[in-house]
Amino acid sequence: MDDDGNHPGRLLIIGGAEDRCDGTGLLERFVELSGGAGARIVLVTAATRAPDEVHADYERVFRRLGADRTIQLELHGRYDADSDDAAKVLHDATGVFISGGDQSRLMALVGSRVNDILEDRLNAEDGVVVAGTSAGATAMGRTMILGGEGPDVSASAVRTGPGLGLIPNVLIDMHFGERGRLPRLLSAVALDPDHLGVGIDENTGVLVEDGSFEVLGSGVATFVDAESATVIHPAGDQEPTTLFGVRLHLLPAGCIFDTATREASIGPAHDRY
């Protein structure tokens, strides 16, 4: 069904490995939010080293879902991200999809003209829908997680850098349950306790709209709230961080997290997308 009304911009943050063959629920929701048959989708492939293959794959899926206009926005560096051509493409878009890959490659977009246009269009009355998967998901925050692995919660367990700032005070991690990334997200939140940590499983998304997060898809979104927690950092980055009083929410599809109250609510169990 086409969405013909005007809305402020919305974010669809996907944990990676979204289903592109069977059901395509998350991508179908993105196309619907972008205008259905009237959607004008811009695919940002800056994070991947195989942009043409990624473009062909998503274009095929979006066309099958009813969207015939998908344009690849090739951004090879800061010059492209500040160009008039990129600005023109984005100003005409109803939906922007940022693909996965290596999130460090997206740092060239931070603070660019492309970044400014995305922020402006999200805040406009007829705001664009911006979706990101995997690397494209973690880049949406003011700070993005660049890497880090291991079982410990410590400053050395996570690497962060500046993100696009499309959603303030939120740290996003992806492939979350599949790759055991709770320690990494806790490490990142311990460094910035005012930030809400959001870890998203594969084939799972969070729709951000009107100050709330709606969980979609087949997995779970994990919310880490350290706003009232106690954090004690050790002398060395390799040593474990003391962290207690953290609130942890595990929310499957249909559940809602309110960012103003930092409270979760249970939605209908059958509402997968």
Over residues 198-226, the pLDDT tens digits come to: 999 999 999 999 889 999 999 999 999 99
In CATH, the architecture of 10-261 is: 3-Layer(aba) Sandwich (3.40)
Q: How many whole angstroms separate alpha carbon 90 and alpha carbon 6? A: 17
Residue in the structure block whose two tokens are 């009083």: 245
Q: What is the CA radius of gyration of the chain?
A: 18
Q: Which of 99, 134, 187, 218 is catalytic?
A: 134
- Answer yes or no: 202 catalytic: yes
CA-to-CA separations, 189 to 67, 152, 173, 183, 250, in angstroms, rounded: 38, 13, 11, 10, 16
Q: How many whole angstroms separate alpha carbon 12 and alpha carbon 14? A: 6
Query: What is the residue type of 56?
Result: A
pLDDT value, residue 34: 97
- Yes or no: say if 155 and 192 are a contact pair by the CB < 8 Å rule: no
> Taking CA 176 as the corner, what is the angle to CA 215 and CA 178, rounded to the nearest 5 degrees?
115
- Yes or no: say if 135 and 101 are a contact pair by the CB < 8 Å rule: yes
Tokens of 226: 């350290």
Q: Which of 175, 187, 195, 214 is catalytic?
A: 175
- Yes or no: say if 109 and 46 are a contact pair by the CB < 8 Å rule: yes
Q: How many whole angstroms separate alpha carbon 269 and alpha carbon 252? A: 8
| Residue from 167, 130, 95, 173 nearest 11 by CA | 130
Band (pLDDT 50/70/90 cuts) for residue 62 is very high
Average pLDDT in the chain: 94
Q: Over 60: is that where the pLDDT of 235 sits?
A: yes
The domain segmentation of the chain, as residue ranges, is: 10-261
- Yes or no: say if 104 and 136 are a contact pair by the CB < 8 Å rule: no
Q: How many whole angstroms separate alpha carbon 164 and alpha carbon 131? A: 13
| Residue from 156, 193, 149 nearest 173 by CA | 149
Q: Over 90: is that where the pLDDT of 273 sits?
A: no
The pairing of strands 95-98 and 40-44 is parallel
Average pLDDT over residues 44-64: 97
pLDDT tens profile 121-162 = 999 988 899 999 999 999 999 999 999 999 999 999 999 999
**Burial (CB count <10 Å: 0-12, 13-18, 19+), residue 164:** buried
> What count of Cα atoms within 13 Å lies in the side-chain half-sphere of residue 115?
21
Q: How many whole angstroms separate alpha carbon 185 and alpha carbon 212? A: 20
Residue in the structure block whose two tokens are 């690397």: 135
